[in-house]
């Protein structure tokens, strides 16, 4: 049973996100992280994809490596930007052959520097989900944005497009956020639109204040004043990490209490914060 939809039907999932390493040094860091996280027996791991195919081979290599060298089912991220139908069909055929059963279908973003990206047969993630459904039996996840997508003109249309997308998919994983109420509101508003598919909250423990502030600004995530103030008064990186992990642990506990079907950790290819949260929450291990 390695389809995430089946895992979600069986109970809560606890999962980790990695990005494909760029060089030998980053590769060594990730290899150590995987060794340290494997004993937590995550339900699945997911591997990001550089929009436009910039990490096409590296994403595939890491996904296939996880599939063959660990017991953890992998999920491959895939984006619309810069891809035509035939390329997606080739990528999916290779995953199916390797025994990979899960894909996260995303729009991706155009290059921030304004450079042209190759032509694409898809505009929205929904277009990619529809095509994936027509060519494979893979389990398909999609992205959800609890505080709305930064390009959305309003929250109402954002939720309607998300509900329609999620109805075609099997589950959603969210952008990271720092207040449980954003997740609860998202799930309730989707239910009001008739969509009750599982939505797994994405967790980003703050281990570096300026790094996460930058990422939050890019993704339209509110960085709460209380969290900023708590972190900004810390004198050492170790204290920042401790306070960030404590805040993430409280958020995880609130989300589980609110009925979240799982937790998805943005690991940034490191293991320590995730392991500490696991220990604090007493999550199932091994």
CA atoms within 13 A on the CB side of 67: 22
Closest CB 12 distance from ligand FAD, rounded Å: 17
Question: Known catalytic residue: 254?
Answer: no
- Our CB check for ligand FAD shows the closer of 7 and 240 to be 7
- Binding mask 125-154 toward ligand FAD (x if CB under 6 A, else -) reads xx----------------x-----x-xx--
Closest CB 136 distance from ligand FAD, rounded Å: 18
Q: Does 79 bind ligand FAD (CB under 6 A)?
A: yes
Q: Does 109 bind ligand FAD (CB under 6 A)?
A: yes
Phi and psi torsions of 253, nearest 5°:
-60, -45
Which segment (5-13, 46-54, 85-93, 179-187) binds ligand FAD by CB under 6 A? 46-54
Which segment (2-10, 104-112, 190-198, 235-243) binds ligand FAD by CB under 6 A? 104-112
- Our CB check for ligand FAD shows the closer of 67 and 159 to be 159
Among 37, 63, 66, 106, indicate the residue that binds ligand FAD (CB under 6 A). 106
- Our CB check for ligand FAD shows the closer of 200 and 243 to be 200
Angle (CA) 107 34 250, round 5°: 75
Q: Does 108 bind ligand FAD (CB under 6 A)?
A: yes
- Binding mask 174-213 toward ligand FAD (x if CB under 6 A, else -) reads xx--------------------------x-----------
Closest CB 106 distance from ligand FAD, rounded Å: 4
Terminal-residue alpha carbon distance, the chain: 17
Three-class HEC string of the chain: CCCHHHHHHHCCEEEEEECCCCCHHHHHHHHHHHHHHHHHCCCEEEECCCCCCCCHHHHHHHHHHHHHHCCCCEEEEEECCCCCHHHHHHHHHHHHHHCCCEEEEECCCCCCCCCCCCCCCCCCHHHHHHHHHHHCCCEEEEEECCCCCCCCCCHHHHHHHHHHHHHHCCEEEEEECCCHHHHHHHHHHHHHCCCCCCEEEEECCCCCHHHHHHHHHHHCCCCCHHHHHHHHCCCCHHHHHHHHHHHHHHHHHHHHHCCCCEEEEECCCCCHHHHHHHHHHCCCCC
Closest CB 44 distance from ligand FAD, rounded Å: 13
Which segment (168-176, 179-187, 191-199, 223-231) binds ligand FAD by CB under 6 A? 168-176
Among 173, 221, 249, 267, indicate the residue that binds ligand FAD (CB under 6 A). 173
Q: What does the binding site for ligand FAD look like in residue numbers (CB under 6 A)?
A: 48-49, 51, 77, 79, 106-109, 124-126, 143, 149, 151-152, 158, 161, 165, 173-175, 202
Active-site positions read 17
């Amino acid at each position: 049973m390695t389809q995430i939809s089946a895992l979600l039907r069986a109970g809560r999932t606890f999962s980790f996100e990695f990005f494909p390493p760029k060089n030998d040094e980053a590769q060594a860091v990730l290899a150590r992280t995987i060794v340290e996280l494997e004993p937590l027996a995550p339900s699945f791991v997911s591997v990001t994809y550089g929009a436009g195919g910039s990490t096409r081979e590296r994403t595939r290599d890491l996904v296939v490596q996880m599939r063959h060298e660990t017991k953890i089912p992998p999920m491959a991220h895939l984006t619309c930007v810069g891809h035509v139908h035939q390329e997606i069909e080739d990528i999916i055929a290779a995953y199916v052959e390797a025994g990979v059963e899960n894909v996260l279908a995303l729009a991706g973003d155009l290059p921030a520097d304004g450079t042209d990206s190759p032509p694409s047969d898809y505009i929205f993630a929904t277009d990619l989900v529809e095509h994936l459904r027509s060519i494979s039996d893979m389990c398909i996840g999609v992205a959800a944005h609890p505080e709305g997508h930064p390009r959305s003109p309003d929250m109402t249309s954002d939720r309607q497009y998300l509900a329609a997308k999620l109805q075609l998919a099997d589950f959603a994983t969210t952008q990271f956020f720092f207040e449980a109420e954003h997740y609860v509101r998202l799930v309730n508003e989707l239910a009001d639109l008739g969509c009750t598919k599982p939505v797994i909250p994405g967790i980003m423990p703050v281990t570096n204040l300026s790094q996460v502030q930058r990422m939050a600004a890019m993704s339209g995530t509110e960085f709460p004043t209380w969290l900023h103030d708590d972190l900004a008064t810390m004198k050492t990186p170790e204290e920042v990490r401790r306070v960030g992990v404590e805040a993430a642990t409280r958020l995880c506990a609130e989300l589980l209490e609110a009925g979240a079907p799982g937790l998805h950790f943005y690991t940034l290819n490191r293991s320590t914060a995730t392991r500490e949260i696991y220990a604090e929450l007493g999550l199932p291990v091994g």
